[in-house]
Amino acid sequence: MSAHLFFLLVALLFSIGLVGVISRRNLFVVYMSVELMLSAITLLFATLSQTLNSANASVMSLLTIAIIAAEAALFLAMIIHLYRINRTLDSEQCTSLKQEAL
Amino acid sequence: MSYLLTLIIFTPLFSAIILGLIQAQTRLLRAGAIVSSLITLCLTLLVLYHFDPAGGMQMVTFLPWIESSGMHYYVGVDALSLVILLLITILMPPLYLYMFKERRKGYWYNMMLLQTGVTGAVLSLDLVLFYLFWETMLLPIFIMIGKYGNGMRQYNAMKIVLMTILGSMTMLFSILYIGYVYFETYGHWSFALSDLTTLQFNAETSIWLSAGFLFAFVIKIPLVGFHTWMAPAYGSAPTPAVVILSAIMAKLGIYGIWRFGYGLFENTLTYYAPTIILLALIGLLYYAIRAITEENLRKMFAYSSGSHLSLIALGLFLENQYAWSGSLYFIATHALASAGIFFMIGLTYKHFKTVHISELGGIAQQAPLFTFFFAFFALSIAGLPGTGGFVAELLIIIGAFKYSIYVGVFSALSVLSAMIYIFWMLQRTLFGAPNEECPSYQDLNKRELLIVVPLVILLLITGLAPSLFTPLFEPYVQETLQLITTAVGVHP
Amino acid sequence: MLSIIVILPFISALFLGILYLSNPTKKRYKLYTLIGSGVPTVIAFISFGLFFKLFNGAPSLHEDLFNWIAIGDFEIPVAFTLDRLSSIMLVFISGIGALIHIYATGYMRDEEGYGKFFSYFNFFMGAMFLLILANNPIMMFIGWELVGLASYLLIGFYHQDHDNITAANKAFILNRVGDFGFIMGIALLFISLEGTAFTFDAIALNIHNIDLQTLTWIGILLFIGAMGKSAQIPLYVWLPDAMAGPTPVSALIHAATMVTAGVYMVARYSFLYVEIPQVGLFIAYIGAFSALFAAIIATYQSDIKKILAYSTMSQLGYMFIAVGLGAYSSGVFHVFTHAFFKALLFMGAGAVIIALHHEQNIFKMGGLKKQLPLVYVTMFVATLAISGIAPFAGFFSKDAILASAFASEHYLIWGIGSFTAFLTAFYMFRLLFTVFIAPASSENKLHSLPKSMTWPLVVLAIGSATAGFLGRNEAYGGENWMGHFLALPDMVIHLSHKSEYLLGGLNMLLGLSGMFLAYKMFAIKSEAPQERHFFNRLVINKFYVDTLYTRIFVQPLLLLSHLIANVIDPKLFDGIITTLSQGYLLVGRQFSRLQSGKVRLYAIQILVGISLMSYYMLFKLGVLG
């Protein structure tokens, strides 16, 4: 199978994730979109590993999968914590890092 | 002999560190500071004794510092830096004597750090090292004004620091770029002045690079237009800081142009000369006229300082023997005179709790000694014959006439410009009936006499027998001018 | 010997100064007197000795002390030369100076700052000797400045009064205006002659190497210095105010010696001025108008010292007529005779002032002839001398000047000079008659005069009566010894004896008629001038020149200073800088809006940023292609 299709799939997945991050307000959905983008990149690595015949990219993709797993735990914990504080999962409401007017 | 310079640079800093580590009490701190200043004075006199006027750069120490980036601990002394070095070390003991009763420890530590900063800046021959010291001397000034000053001290401290750092940034950029050009040319890094002088820049690069340096120095001097930090800073700073500001730090701007400007870009500075000469002439009159109606004595002499430094800068850019000798001589004599007058203003403040002319008056009747010294320093700033300032002004005027008659005419106005504000000021502060709101005044005591008398004697000797001092820097001036003329001749 | 003459007064000034400052309140009358007046006396004797050496035909004396400075071609030695010109100056300055010092021991006796006064006074003597004995322009300039400083210090001697200090400042600053020209002249001279030695002798030898235009400028610039120092139009306004100082100061500095330095300077540079007669003519006209102008003002003044001050200015005008027209030795001759009678007039006036407890208005005096006979007689002699009545000193010197003006065919100058001679006699006798002959306006109990104040008057009276014989023309039976001795490049006068007698007679006649008019108007009954009509008011207010100068120079300068302080500095220069920093803050505030805290917005920013970077890398840098 041509590598081009995989690249196309990567681009598609990444774009869906990107649109999700930007357009959705629910933090869970945002999280899932982020994961989607990460997965897209992992797929990219895997594809490149095949096309370039190099083990480096494979190692990289495996590493990314491990990090995604660890990150998922952290992310979910943080979302729950945020929900306890704000009683909402709307990202528009979480603006405590905003620059106050000078 | 080469270790002498290193000792001179770091003695004050190490004294300060040791005194700080043992948590010295005020008395010990005072003793330590005075001893360290006397040690540096003695060492400098030793340097003077071994100095060979015709020997160019000497007592050089060249040690690796950050070898991979071509930065070196590279110090040395020639006539130009020796003059300023002498001034620094001569002025420090009277300065500490002036601070004798000072109980705030920060004063002492700051002044010691300041001495290391200015001495290092004068002696270092590595551009990065110079930059390091150049910034180091700003820090104590910032603290002295911001913490111990008066008036809007924090605003004014911020102003001087921001404006001078703005200049320093452009200089830093130029320094780094020059280092890069050296790397491109020779394949390894170096910031040593003696290496960098071998570089040839194309005209456009040279103009931009020298502008970076000039900007820093012109702010430090300051020439007219770059001067708005000056009066507020002088007005707010405590006396020891003012003395260093006016007597030493302003001169370092001139020094920088001389050492690095003419060292690296001699033909480009000739390109800038007409502009700077014009600015200097404007400054000469602008500051003098501004000073006439100034009520605050510190600010008045800040403007006065600006006016005379413009004259020194003028002499520098005239690029002939008379003007250069005059400028170098003026650096020395103006430092002595302005240190003297700022000491006297400090004493005025100590006794009357004000430096506003309208609140003073009739001091002559109560304190003849004070009056004598005050008037003497004021007149020597105005360039009275018999004091060193006259010799310097005369030389610069002659140099200006050699350059062009028009520049000559305007520079000759300097004999007139200072007179007006100084004499009017003397009239209102010293003479007339005593101001009734002023407390009665005991005349100078022995310690205060000990501060000013050496300065008076030095000013008189420099005025009566300049030939004692001119051989010290004459070969340097001739040699450097020779280099410039050949350089300009080769690359028109 | 020469260096002793110059240095000794400085040393004694320093010594007196330190002594005084060590304990300002302590009276050390005897010590101060001994040193203060002893040193000038010793120097006077030394000077006489040296003068007689030259008188007997010895060549000029040179003395080289040390090299003052040597930078390239700028080699200036501290060296002194006593040639014939400076020996004449030296002998009368040291002589009259010593007399005035002795006089001052009486005049200043009760003053608090007695020691300080003599310190300044000796300092002045040293500076004046430096001025006249210097063998190069730079040393001369230093002396020139230092006499100005001494003058400043002494005018402001009574420093409790602001008016005195204002007068002192005015004197110094106007002198500096002159020096502004002077130093430019010197610098230009040096630059034009660069490469040759810079002493008067060497300059005289090389003067032909300078082109005429430069030489003209140098001549004018140097003369600007003389205008300031010698109180000529337009820089004269300081001299009348300078009378605020103690009277011995007025006698020594502002009459006999310092103010004549300008004339001496022109005579010293005579080798230069003979090359540029058109500048000389300009000088002569300035002199003539100053002479007339001052004489007119003097006729309406009522302060005894101010009258004498204007008369000094007027006489200085004569001297400049002479040196301007090239009659250098006549000019110096008038300097010489003038020193005697003008010092005497001031000292007499001082005696009157002391006797009347510091009264200076002549219309409050009167009838002092009986009470102060010695002062009266000596001042009479001096008045005769200044009015140009033969055979007193002023006649010969003034006649020589007017004769040369006549002979050079500048009849306007000659006419002004002659008319001024008439005015001089008039206002001087007006003073004399009002003070000594006119009935007293009020009875005064007179303060007694010490001996030290009276016998110098006698010495000077003898001098005023006889000094003129040194320069008698052939027409008057002399051989113009002064002219031959000085040997300056004078212009040659072709006048027959007959016309000389005619001119001399005319002068006598003018002098006598002035005297007669004054007698008519003031001897019987004298009254102060009133501001009656326009001319009157104009003259009494000194032609409003002071007001004019304040309007033209002082006020605009202050205005400019305020403008800089309140507008240009804070609004323009600081304005630019604060605008920059404010702008920086403003931009920062705008950018801070991007940090909204909204995650989705951040994501868009990241997207846009990455997109732009990718675009740049792909299409501009061509990373892949």
Q: Which residue has better confidence, B366 or C322?
A: C322
- Alpha-carbon gap: C406 to the closest alpha carbon of chain B (Å): 38
Chain C nearest-CA residue for A23? C600
Mean per-residue pLDDT for C490-502?
Answer: 82
Choosing among C589, C590, C600, C614, which should be mutated to test the A contact, i.e. which has the most A CBs within 10 A?
Answer: C600
Touching B: which chains, 3+ CB pairs < 8 A? C
**pLDDT band with cut points at 50, 70 and 90 for residue C51:** very high
Residue C468 and residue C398: Cα distance in Å, rounded?
10
- Alpha-carbon gap: C595 to the closest alpha carbon of chain A (Å): 6
- ipTM above 0.90? yes
Which residues of chain A neighbour C586 with C-beta distances below 8 Å? none
* Of residues B294, B368, B465, nearest to C68 (C-beta): B465
Residue B181 and residue B423: Cα distance in Å, rounded?
53
Is the model's pLDDT at C312 over the cut of 80?
yes
Give Cβ neighbours of residue A28 (< 8 Å, ≥ 6 apart). A79, A89
* Of residues C592, C596, C604, nearest to A95 (C-beta): C596
Mean per-residue pLDDT for C11-37?
Answer: 90
Q: Would you call C86 exposed, middle or buried from its count of C-beta atoms within 10 A (0-12, 13-18, 19+)? A: buried
Is the model's pLDDT at B243 over the cut of 60?
yes
**Region label for C259, one of left (φ > 0), alpha (ψ between -120 and 50) or beta (otherwise):** alpha
Residue B393 lies in a domain: yes
DSSP summary character for residue C78: E
DSSP summary character for residue A90: B
Percent of chain C scoring above 90 in pLDDT: 54
- Alpha-carbon gap: C591 to the closest alpha carbon of chain A (Å): 10
Touching C: which chains, 3+ CB pairs < 8 A? A, B
Residue B116 lies in a domain: no
- Alpha-carbon gap: B283 to the closest alpha carbon of chain C (Å): 12
Query: Quick one: which of C195, C242, C227 has its CA closest to C320?
Result: C227
CB contact A82 to C (< 8 Å): no
**B408-425 pLDDT per residue, tens:** 999 999 888 888 899 999
Domain ranges of chain C: 276-527, 541-593, 595-625
**pLDDT for the residue numbered B164:** 92
Q: Out of B254-258, B285-289, C590-594, pick the least confident.
A: C590-594
Residue B379 lies in a domain: yes
Q: How many CA atoms lie within 13 A of B87 on its CB side?
A: 34
Is the model's pLDDT at A44 over the cut of 60?
yes
**pLDDT for the residue numbered C454:** 86
Which residues of chain A neighbour C607 with C-beta distances below 8 Å? 18, 22
- Alpha-carbon gap: C138 to the closest alpha carbon of chain B (Å): 9
**pLDDT for the residue numbered C362:** 87
Cβ within 8 Å, pair C70-B470 = yes
Query: Quick one: which of C309, C223, C308, C224 has its CA closest to C269?
Result: C223
Residue B454 lies in a domain: yes
Please give the mean pLDDT across all residues of chain B: 91
- Alpha-carbon gap: C603 to the closest alpha carbon of chain A (Å): 6
* DSSP reduced 3-state for B185: helix
Touching A: which chains, 3+ CB pairs < 8 A? C
**pLDDT for the residue numbered B486:** 80
Choosing among B161, B164, B293, B303, which should be mutated to test the C contact, i.e. which has the most C CBs within 10 A?
Answer: B293
Q: Out of A38-42, B46-50, B437-441, pick the least confident.
A: B437-441
* Of residues C595, C596, C603, nearest to A21 (C-beta): C603
CB contact A15 to C (< 8 Å): no
Chain C nearest-CA residue for A24? C600
Residue B392 lies in a domain: yes
Which residues of chain C neighbour A88 with C-beta distances below 8 Å? none
Cβ within 8 Å, pair A97-C604 = no
- Alpha-carbon gap: A66 to the closest alpha carbon of chain C (Å): 24
From chain A residues 28-57, the ones with a CB under 8 A of any chain C CB are 30
Please give the mean pLDDT across all residues of chain C: 89
CB contact C622 to A (< 8 Å): no
Choosing among C71, C164, C175, which should be mutated to test the B contact, i.e. which has the most B CBs within 10 A?
Answer: C71
Mean per-residue pLDDT for B335-363?
Answer: 90
Chain B nearest-CA residue for C181? B412
Which residues of chain C neighbour B162 with C-beta distances below 8 Å? 581
Residue recorded with tokens 């004797």: C45
Which residues of chain C neighbour A95 with C-beta distances below 8 Å? 596-598
**pLDDT for the residue numbered C625:** 62
Which residues of chain C neighbour A99 with C-beta distances below 8 Å? 592-593, 595-597
- Alpha-carbon gap: C605 to the closest alpha carbon of chain A (Å): 10
Cβ within 8 Å, pair C183-B412 = yes
- Alpha-carbon gap: A56 to the closest alpha carbon of chain C (Å): 20
**pLDDT for the residue numbered A1:** 63
Residue C432 and residue C369: Cα distance in Å, rounded?
10
Which residues of chain C neighbour B290 with C-beta distances below 8 Å? 561, 564-565, 569
Residue A14 belongs to domain spanning: 3-87
Mean per-residue pLDDT for B129-140?
Answer: 93
CB pairs under 8 A between B and C: 136
Residue B314 belongs to domain spanning: 265-492
Residue A98 lies in a domain: no
Residue C463 and residue C46: Cα distance in Å, rounded?
19
Mean per-residue pLDDT for A57-75?
Answer: 91
Chain C nearest-CA residue for A15? C607
For C581, other C-beta atoms within 10 Å of its C-beta total 13
- Alpha-carbon gap: A82 to the closest alpha carbon of chain C (Å): 14
* Of residues A92, A94, A102, nearest to C589 (C-beta): A102
Cβ within 8 Å, pair C596-A98 = yes
Is the model's pLDDT at B491 over the cut of 60?
no
Alpha helices in C356-447 (DSSP H): 368-371, 373-386, 393-407, 411-432
Cβ within 8 Å, pair C160-B430 = no
Mean per-residue pLDDT for C185-211?
Answer: 90
- Residues in chain C, how many? 625
- Alpha-carbon gap: B474 to the closest alpha carbon of chain C (Å): 7
Chain B nearest-CA residue for C575? B228
Is the model's pLDDT at C572 over the cut of 80?
yes
**pLDDT for the residue numbered B490:** 47
- N-to-C CA span, chain A: 57
Does chain A touch chain B (at least 3 C-beta pairs within 8 Å)? no
* Of residues C589, C597, C607, nearest to A96 (C-beta): C597
Query: Quick one: which of C13, C279, C247 has its CA closest to C122?
Result: C13
**pLDDT for the residue numbered B488:** 65
* Of residues B225, B397, B433, nearest to C187 (C-beta): B397
Which residues of chain B neighbour C156 with C-beta distances below 8 Å? 431
Residue B386 and residue C149: Cα distance in Å, rounded?
11
Cβ within 8 Å, pair B416-C69 = no
Instruction: Report how many domains make up chain A.
Output: 1
Is the model's pLDDT at B22 over the cut of 90?
yes
- Alpha-carbon gap: C612 to the closest alpha carbon of chain A (Å): 16
Query: Can you state the angle between helices B368-381 and B414-430, rounded to 10 degrees?
Result: 160
Q: What is the pTM of this model?
A: 0.90
Chain B nearest-CA residue for C560? B289
**How are the residues of chain C apportioned to helix, strand and coil, as percentages rounded to the nearest 5?**
75, 5, 20
Cβ within 8 Å, pair C74-B395 = yes
Residue A93 lies in a domain: no
Which residues of chain C neighbour A34 with C-beta distances below 8 Å? none
Query: Quick one: which of B111, B12, B123, B36 has its CA closest to B78?
Result: B123
Residue A100 lies in a domain: no
**pLDDT for the residue numbered B335:** 95
**C475-485 pLDDT per residue, tens:** 777 777 888 88
**B360-380 pLDDT per residue, tens:** 888 888 888 999 999 999 999
C334 vs A73, C393, C395, C480, C511, CA distance in Å? Answer: 114, 9, 10, 13, 17
Residue C74 and residue C82: Cα distance in Å, rounded?
23
Residue B20 lies in a domain: no
C123 vs B465, C143, C150, CA distance in Å? Answer: 19, 11, 7
Under a CB-based contact definition with an 8 Å cutoff, are residues B449 and B88 in contact?
A: no
Q: Out of B281-295, C500-514, C521-535, pick the least confident.
A: C521-535
Is the model's pLDDT at B492 over the cut of 70?
no
Instruction: Report how many domains make up chain B.
Output: 1
Under a CB-based contact definition with an 8 Å cutoff, are residues C229 and C178 in contact?
A: yes
Does chain A touch chain C (at least 3 C-beta pairs within 8 Å)? yes
**pLDDT for the residue numbered B449:** 92
Cβ within 8 Å, pair B293-C184 = no
